[in-house]
A = this chain, B = another copy of it.
Amino acid sequence: MESTFTDRFPVRIYWEDTDAGGIVYHANYLKYMERARSELLARLEVSQQDERQRPDGVLFVVVAVDLRYHRAAVLGDDLTVVTTVSKLRHASLEFEQNIFRGDERITTGHVRVACVSAATMRPTVIPDTIYARVSELLSTDSN
């Protein structure tokens, strides 16, 4: 299933985010993308803290990332992470995530996450309730 569902998440750049080059340290953009995906799950009423503590809980772990850095963000910048769920599969999800400063695109990421058992960390299918919510969200917003 593919869609054009999008979600917007704000990030402000603090000292912790920057490096001695005066710009945001390149690995940190992965954090902002993860925050945005976590907010999306929260909006779908998936509590990752509950999931990681339940015997039959599931987590989503990153299995592949493709990042392009277009421009550098700096201290004090207000960024927006724009997230599209690009693919929903039985045991994995794919996201396209673009980070903007106003109209300027700073970073583009394609991120694939796999569903794993919280107890064993082994791959498993996405539970029906979560699958249905993502699916519904996609069909609703893709118009």
A contact face: mostly helix, strand, loop, or mixed? mixed
Taking CB atoms and an 8 Å cut-off, the chain A residues in 49-88 that contact chain B are 49, 52, 59, 61-69, 72, 74-76
Question: Once bound together, how far apart are the Cα atoms of A12 and B67, in whole Å?
Answer: 25
Write out the residue numbers on chain B whose beta carbons fall within 8 Å of the beta carbon of A118.
21
Quick one: which of A27, A66, A68, A76 has the most chain B CB within 10 A? A27
- Whether A28 sits at the interface, judged by CB under 8 Å, is yes
Count the copies. 4
Flag the segment in A29-37, A92-100, A134-142 that touches B.
A29-37
- Whether A20 sits at the interface, judged by CB under 8 Å, is yes
Interface size on A, residues (CB 8 A): 40
Q: Which residues of A contact B (CB under 8 A)?
A: 12, 14-16, 18-23, 25-28, 30-31, 34-35, 38, 42, 47-49, 52, 59, 61-69, 72, 74-76, 118, 121
Q: What are 12 of the A-B contact pairs (CB < 8 Å)?
A: A15-B19, A15-B25, A18-B19, A20-B75, A21-B118, A22-B121, A23-B121, A27-B30, A42-B76, A61-B72, A65-B65, A65-B67
